[in-house]
């Protein structure tokens, strides 16, 4: 379950916004991702909640959906505003993996990490060779946003089961 | 301290990945494939490494980490030279010669073959973070995988900025490997000092450190030689039929004997200049090594002494001939070698030329290189010429000026990055910068009908370009050039035919042969084939 979540998310985040300049994109994204991971343990007692995880998925869905209109709308004249969705995606994604790692048992932690890498692997191969040329940026974003929505729904129901037991 | 280790090791690993990716790029015109494959293999093998990390080194993670650092440092510094040397063997002792042919179909297998290095480095890297985390857990009692993860992200960012933007333009790729490998050795030393407490373990650490230093030093000393041998083997087309020790010796002597290849690298590309005759002064009788003086970008041919004339004449005289009128104000995008400018300055009506080139190093070479500045007759310093160093897309979007002719001289669209300059977004702006009765001419890869059928490539590059330019608002266009392909387009409706009577007498006979239109009727017209920044086409031509 956790693995699937990881895969789905990492597909989405790695693919998020490539039509911005490549280096700035990767830089901002990885830095916000890293920043969030660093902060996570410090604030874990406050932010480590399943509700927040679901919320993060829904937020990602919204941000991914909005960003495709956001970026062309503000155009090249407002580079800072244009990069805001990127920061948002970075921060929210930076929340996901630490949540999943903390949630899983000790023995599984490295495996979550491994699946995170696998997710990025499939993204790096799928995106340039298939998704980007076949579907284009807009449809890819849409599909990934739906992935996130799907994750949120699945996670919600699996929580429900746990609660019953 | 342990966090610092995590930072440095993740920096090293991403740097190796970038390095291998850059090295393999030289084998293929398909950058999209080669770069995503290398990154993909790296991430996947890192995943496998992290997945199995728990099952290894259960006795002593400390020693395990030190050993991993040692192997990584060795792998990192020998990867590029080994790729070079193995390629030389393939090139010299391969009868079908396909390896030295950049466009051969089995280049994919070579790129895949050399992924063993990426895999090995990625696999070992996958161990690092879990081991460090486990060591930290036994020491502090807390699990801080998230913190390690954050730090390794930061290391990755540092690597992916520092290496391509700052290190690679300064030294050759082998030296970059040694540079990064040195950081791995520092980690080895740091880890031995931090984790290894018993004397025999410490001795082992010291021994590995010394061995690593020795390997680093040896690779560094042979770096220039190996690079030269690799480039000479690639450009000189030497081959031996039989693979034996004597022939290896012969080949080695031969490569030492040939003149060196000039190599430059910038943030954007690697520029190689092959001298007119590879045999050294006094040994010119070795006619088989006489080559055209030529310039290569990322090891793909750009121009040679023998052919540059008709390429640039085709663009200048072909364009004017199709348009029926000579331009006054001209914009050149790309073409930092200055050869196109030199040709244009021969047209009396031309009053002003603006040239926009991305790579300042190319401009510098065009102005100062003894041979190239002779070819372009110092055209870049002419009073009519304005040289702008910058991104062509950025320039054309922001300029208020308009032109009678826009000459687009970019490298072929091997990557999505270059493909942006062949997109509907680009040409929609270009058309707005054209004056009435102005035209645009661009060099593009062209496939003949037979080539297209044989290679099974669809859509062909000209189909993509014609569809893209029609969608950008151009009304009439023609593709021509059996030897060097071009597309010519106007926003007015006009029949476009060459008027061979009107061509100046002094042009090269090959230019006349090249001014030959392709049948445009057979092209498939479909909005599906439009190349857009948001929905790119993958250009393939070989």
Give the CA-trace dihedral at B52, B53, B57, B61, to 10 degrees.
180
Instruction: Give the closest of A37, A127, A129 to B150, CB-based.
Output: A37
Residue B289 confidence class, pLDDT cut points 50, 70, 90: low
Q: Which two tokens stand for residue A82?
A: 């244009």
The DSSP line for chain A is: -HHHHHHHHHHHHHHTTTTS-HHHHHHHHHHHHHHHHHHHHHHHHHH--HHHHHHHHHHHHHHHHHHHHHHHHHTTT-HHHHHHHHHHHHHHHHHHHHHHHHHS-HHHHHHHHHHHHHHHHHHHHHIIIIIHHHHHHHHHHHHHHHHHHHHHHHHHHHHHHHHH-
B36–A34 C-beta distance less than 8 A: no
- Tokens 């005289």 map to which residue? B317
8 A C-beta contact, residue A33 and residue A93: yes
First to last CA, chain B: 52
| Average pLDDT score over chain B | 88
C-alpha angle B89-B92-B96 in degrees, rounded to nearest 5: 110
Those residues with Cβ within 8 angstroms of residue A49's Cβ, 6 or more apart along the chain or in another chain? none
| Residues B47, A117: C-beta atoms closer than 8 Å | yes
Instruction: Write down the pLDDT at residue B38.
Output: 87
- Least-confidence region, from A119-123, B123-127, B156-160, B515-519: A119-123
Residue in chain A nearest B397 by alpha carbon: A76
Contact A31 B157 (CB under 8 A): yes
> Nearest-CA neighbor of B72 among B150, B147, B14?
B14
- Across the interface, whether the CB atoms of A125 and B37 are under 8 A apart is answered yes
Q: What backbone phi and psi angles, to 5 degrees, belong to B302?
A: -110, -55
Closest among B512, B511, B520, B514 to B465, alpha carbons compared: B520
pLDDT of residue A72: 62
pLDDT tens digits, one per residue of B476-507: 999 999 889 999 999 999 889 999 999 998 89
Q: Which residues of B touch A116 (CB under 8 A)?
A: 47
Mutate to test the interface with A, among B146, B464, B528 (most CBs of A within 10 A): B146
> Which of B44-58, B104-118, B428-442, B451-465 is predicted with the least confidence, judged by mean pLDDT?
B104-118
Cβ B147–A41 below 8 Å, yes or no?
yes
Is the confidence at residue B521, as pLDDT, over 80?
Answer: no
What pLDDT does B468 receive?
96
In this prediction the pTM is 0.84
Average pLDDT over residues B85-104: 66
B153 or B486, which is more confident: B486
State mean pLDDT over B303-315. 92
pLDDT of residue A114: 81
- C-alpha closest to that of B180 among B168, B189, B196: B168
CB-nearest partner of B157 from A19, A30, A107: A30
Which of B43, B130, B133 is facing A121, going by the closest CB pair?
B43
- CB B361, CB B264: distance < 8 Å: yes
Q: What are phi and psi of B114, to 5 degrees?
A: -75, 0
Burial of B391 (0-12, 13-18, 19+ CB in 10 A): middle
Residue B197 pLDDT:
84
Angstroms from A78 CA to nearest CA on chain B: 15
Residue B385 CB coordination number (10 Å): 20
Searching chain B, which residue's CA lies closest to the CA of residue A77? B398
pLDDT tens profile B439-463: 999 999 998 888 888 878 888 999 9
When comparing pLDDT for B53 and B473, which is higher? B473
% chain B with pLDDT above 90: 50
pLDDT at B370: 95
Pick B6 or A14 by higher pLDDT: B6
* Tens-level pLDDT at each residue, chain A (165 residues): 555 555 555 555 555 444 445 556 666 777 787 888 888 877 777 777 778 888 888 888 888 777 767 666 665 556 666 667 777 877 888 888 888 887 777 677 777 878 878 877 777 777 777 777 777 767 777 777 788 788 888 878 777 655 443
Nearest 5 degrees, angle CA B448-CA B449-CA B453? 115
Task: Give contacts of B118 with chain A, Cβ < 8 Å.
Answer: none
What is the nearest CA distance from A138 to chain B, expressed in angstroms?
Answer: 7
Max mean pLDDT among B198-207, B274-283, B520-529 falls in B198-207
Task: Reduce the DSSP state of residue B244 to 3 states and report it.
Answer: coil
Q: Nearest-CA residue of chain A relative to B530?
A: A133
> Under 8 Å CB-to-CB from B364, ≥6 apart: which residues?
none
Query: How far is it, in rounded angstroms, from Cα A50 to Cα A27?
Result: 29
Higher-pLDDT residue of B115 and A152 is B115
Torsional class of A40: left (φ above 0), alpha (ψ -120 to 50), beta (otherwise): alpha
Chain B residue closest in CA terms to A26: B157
Angle between helices B145-162 and B2-25 (to 10 degrees): 40
**Alpha-carbon gap, residue B372 to B397, rounded angstroms:** 31
Give the up-direction half-sphere exposure of residue B484: CA atoms within 13 A in the CB hemisphere.
22
* Set of chain A residues whose Cβ sits within 8 Å of the Cβ of B144: 41
Binning pLDDT at 50, 70 and 90, where does residue B423 land?
A: very high
Interface test with B, best of A20, A121, A139, A142 (most B CBs within 10 A): A121
From chain A, the residues in CB contact with B136 under 8 A are none
Whether residue B32 and residue A129 make contact (CB cut-off 8 A), yes or no, is yes
Contact B145 A121 (CB under 8 A): no
Pick from B390, B462, B474, B496: nearest CA to B424: B474
Q: What is the C-alpha separation between B496 and B323, in angstroms, rounded?
A: 7
pLDDT tens-digit map of B245-263: 888 898 888 888 888 999 9
pLDDT tens digits, residue range B391-404? 898 899 889 999 99
- CA closest to A117 among chain B residues: B47
As beta bridge partners, residue B294 has: B274, B304
pLDDT at B101 over 60: no
Q: What is the pLDDT of residues B70-80, one digit of tens each?
A: 999 999 999 99
Average pLDDT estimate for B258-281: 87
The answer to whether the Cβ–Cβ distance between A110 and B151 falls below 8 Å is: no
Residue B236 confidence (pLDDT) above 90: no
Nearest-Cα distance to chain A for B157, in Å, is 6
Q: Reduced to 3 DSSP states, what percent helix, strand and coil does chain B have, rounded to the nearest 5?
A: 55, 10, 30
Question: What pLDDT does residue B384 have?
Answer: 96
Q: What does each C-alpha distance from B127 to B1, B17, B64 come to in angstroms? A: 18, 16, 9
Distance (Å) of CA B361 to CA A148, A149, B181: 45, 48, 28
Q: Which among A35, A128, A135 is the nearest to B32, CB-wise?
A: A128
Check CB contact under 8 Å for B149 and A97.
Answer: yes
Active site residues of B: 409
């Amino acid at each position: 379950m956790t693995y699937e979540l990881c895969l789905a998310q990492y597909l989405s985040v790695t693919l998020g916004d490539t039509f911005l300049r490549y280096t700035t994109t990767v830089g901002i994204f990885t830095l916000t991702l890293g920043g969030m991971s660093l902060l996570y343990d410090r604030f874990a007692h406050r932010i480590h909640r399943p509700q927040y995880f679901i919320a993060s998925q829904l937020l990602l869905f919204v941000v991914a959906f909005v960003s495709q209109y956001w970026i062309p709308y503000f155009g090249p004249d407002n580079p800072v505003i244009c990069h805001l969705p990127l920061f948002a995606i970075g921060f929210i994604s930076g929340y996901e993996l630490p949540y999943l790692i903390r949630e899983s048992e000790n023995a599984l932690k490295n495996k979550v990490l491994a699946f995170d890498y696998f997710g990025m692997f499939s993204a790096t191969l799928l995106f340039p060779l298939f998704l980007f040329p076949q579907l284009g940026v807009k449809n890819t974003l849409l599909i990934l946003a739906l992935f996130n929505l799907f994750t949120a729904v699945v996670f919600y129901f699996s929580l429900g089961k746990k609660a019953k037991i | 301290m342990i966090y610092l280790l995590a930072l440095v090791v993740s920096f090293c690993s991403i740097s190796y990945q970038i390095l291998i990716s850059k090295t393999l790029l030289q084998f293929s015109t398909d950058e999209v494939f080669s770069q995503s494959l290398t990154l993909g293999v790296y991430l996947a093998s890192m995943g496998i490494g992290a997945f199995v990390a728990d099952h290894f080194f259960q006795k002593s993670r400390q020693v395990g980490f030190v050993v991993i650092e040692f192997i990584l440092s060795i792998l990192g510094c020998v990867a590029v030279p080994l790729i070079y040397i193995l390629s030389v063997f393939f090139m010299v002792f391969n009868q079908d010669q396909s390896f030295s042919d950049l466009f051969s179909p089995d280049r994919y297998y070579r790129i895949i073959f050399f992924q063993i290095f990426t895999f090995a480095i990625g696999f070992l890297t996958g161990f690092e973070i879990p081991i460090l985390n486990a060591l930290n857990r036994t020491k502090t009692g807390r699990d801080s995988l998230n913190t390690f993860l954050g730090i390794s992200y930061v290391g990755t960012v540092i690597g992916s900025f520092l290496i391509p933007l700052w290190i690679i333009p300064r030294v050759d790729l082998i030296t970059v490997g040694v540079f990064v490998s040195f950081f791995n050795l520092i980690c080895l030393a740091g880890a031995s000092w931090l984790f290894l407490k018993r004397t025999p373990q410490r001795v082992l650490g010291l021994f590995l450190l010394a061995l690593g230093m020795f390997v680093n030093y040896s690779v560094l000393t042979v770096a220039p030689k190996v690079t030269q041998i690799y480039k000479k083997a690639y450009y000189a087309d030497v081959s031996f039929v039989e693979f034996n020790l004597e022939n290896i010796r012969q080949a080695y002597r031969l490569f030492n004997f040939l003149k060196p290849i000039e190599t430059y690298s910038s943030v954007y590309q690697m520029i190689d200049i092959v001298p007119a005759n590879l045999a050294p002064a006094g040994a010119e009788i070795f006619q088989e090594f006489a080559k055209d003086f030529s310039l290569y970008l990322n090891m793909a041919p750009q121009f040679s002494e023998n052919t540059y004339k008709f390429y640039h004449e085709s663009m200048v005289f072909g364009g004017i001939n199709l348009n029926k009128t000579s331009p006054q104000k001209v914009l050149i995008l790309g073409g930092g070698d200055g050869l196109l400018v030199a040709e244009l300055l021969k047209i009396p009506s031309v009053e002003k030329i603006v040239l926009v080139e991305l790579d300042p190093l190319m401009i510098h070479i065009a102005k100062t290189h003894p041979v190239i500045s002779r070819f372009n007759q110092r055209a870049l310093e002419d009073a009519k010429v304005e040289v702008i160093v910058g991104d062509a897309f950025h320039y054309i979007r922001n300029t208020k000026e308009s032109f009678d002719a826009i000459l687009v001289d970019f490298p072929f669209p091997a990557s999505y990055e270059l493909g942006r300059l062949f997109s509907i977004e680009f040409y929609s702006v270009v058309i707005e910068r054209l004056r009435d009765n102005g035209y645009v001419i661009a060099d593009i890869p062209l496939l003949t009908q037979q080539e297209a059928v044989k290679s099974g490539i669809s859509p062909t590059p000209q189909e993509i370009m014609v569809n893209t330019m029609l969608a950008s608002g151009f009304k009439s266009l023609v593709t021509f050039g059996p030897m060097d392909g071009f597309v010519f387009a106007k926003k007015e409706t006009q029949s476009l035919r060459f008027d061979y009577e009107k061509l100046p007498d002094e042009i090269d006979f090959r230019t006349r042969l090249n001014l030959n239109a392709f049948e445009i009727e057979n092209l498939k017209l479909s909005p599906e084939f439009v190349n857009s920044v948001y929905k790119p086409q993958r250009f393939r031509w070989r």
